Amino acid sequence: MTTFGWPEFMFLVRATGWTLLLTAIAFVLGGIAGGALAIMRLSSRAALRRIATVYILVIQSVPVLMVLFMSYYGLALAGFELPPLLAASISLGIYVSAYLAEIWRGSIEAVPFQQWEASASLALTRAQQYRYVILPQAIRISLPPTVGFLVQLVKNTSIVSVVGFVELSRAGQLVNNATFQPFAIFGVVAALYFVICFPLSRLSRHLEKVLHVSRGH
């Protein structure tokens, strides 16, 4: 039986890289879809609003795990074998999109409606209003909760270990199976998560403070 040493530690560090990569991919995919969904939720067309509402409601009401099982095992059964990284990215992206859509919708709605009226009165189209007036202000409002959500996402990536994707949590399990030193190993795993999440939490709180005090610039 091996013991927990330098090579095992480096194995965990490399797995941390996968956790970060997975977080980044899920965030980008989810962010693109979530942005579109947020705007659909606020569309003047009822059909678009309804599609986005139902999507968000469904995704927020089922465990990510089920989405993951469906995209990994379900699609495999239907003949589409997705590599674990792809299945994991897509599943997490779907999960992220539903939550970011709601965070961002709230941020857009937090921009005073007078800003819509003033920009409409200057003959801007709806797209121009979003682009030049509403979104720059909404993004500022959304930064603290978005970064806060990112912290959740980093931790929730651990769920993809169930489809055999070796990220930080799964790597911890593997090392533990070989060495059986759970306190040391999972302590290190937790510390690695902490090293990522703690600065993000601080950043979120910092943004909240800074952006609140001076909202012009």
Partner 1 sequence: MSAVVIEDVHKRFGTVEVLKGVSLAIEKGQVVAIIGRSGSGKSTLLRCVNGLEPFQSGRIEVVGHTVDQDPKRLRELRKDVGIVFQSYNLFPHLTVGQNIMLAPRIAKGMKDNDALALAKEVLAQVGLTEKFDVYPDNLSGGQQQRVAIARSLAMRPQVMLFDEVTSALDPELTGEVLLVMEKLAREGMTMLLVTHEMNFARSVADITVFMHQGKIWESGPSEALFSAPKTPELQAFVGSNLK
Side-chain-facing half-sphere of 211: CA atoms under 13 Å: 16
State the minimum distance, in angstroms, from the CB of residue 120 to partner 1: 7
Q: Which of 5, 61, 114, 177 contacts partner 1 by CB under 8 A? A: 114
State the minimum distance, in angstroms, from the CB of residue 52 to partner 1: 21
What is d(CA 34, CA 148) in angstroms, rounded to the nearest whole number?
16
Q: Is 77 in the site for partner 1 (CB under 8 A)?
A: no
Q: What angle, 0 to 180 degrees and rounded to 10, lies between the N-to-C axes of helices 6-41 and 135-156? A: 140
State the minimum distance, in angstroms, from the CB of residue 108 to partner 1: 14
What is d(CA 167, CA 169) in angstroms, rounded to the nearest whole number?
6
Which of 117, 112, 101, 119 lies closest to 42 in space, CA to CA?
Answer: 101
Q: Is 78 in the site for partner 1 (CB under 8 A)?
A: no
Surface-to-core class of residue 56, CB atoms within 10 Å of its CB (0-12 exposed, 13-18 middle, 19+ buried): buried
Q: Which of 29, 124, 178, 197 contacts partner 1 by CB under 8 A? A: 124
Decide whether 111 or 184 has the Cβ nearer to partner 1. Answer: 111
What x-and-dash track marks residues 185-214 binding partner 1 by CB under 8 A? -----------------------------x
Q: Is 156 in the site for partner 1 (CB under 8 A)?
A: no
What are the backbone angles phi and psi of residue 110, rounded to the nearest 5°?
-75, -15
Q: Is 122 in the site for partner 1 (CB under 8 A)?
A: yes
State the minimum distance, in angstroms, from the CB of residue 111 to partner 1: 10
Query: Which of the ranges 53-61, 64-72, 127-135, 186-194 carries the binding residues for partner 1, by CB under 8 A?
Result: 127-135
65, 1 Cβ separation under 8 angstroms: no
145 token code pair: 């909760």
**Which residues inside 129-148 make contact with partner 1, applying CB under 8 A?**
132-133, 136-137, 140
33, 97 Cβ separation under 8 angstroms: yes
Q: Which of 125, 190, 199, 212 contacts partner 1 by CB under 8 A? A: 125
What is d(CA 34, CA 185) in angstroms, rounded to the nearest whole number?
36
Total interface residues for partner 1 by CB under 8 A:
22
Decide whether 58 or 139 has the Cβ nearer to partner 1. Answer: 139
What is d(CA 134, CA 64) in angstroms, rounded to the nearest whole number?
32
Name the site residues for partner 1 (rule: CB under 8 A). Answer: 114-115, 117-126, 128, 132-133, 136-137, 140, 214-217
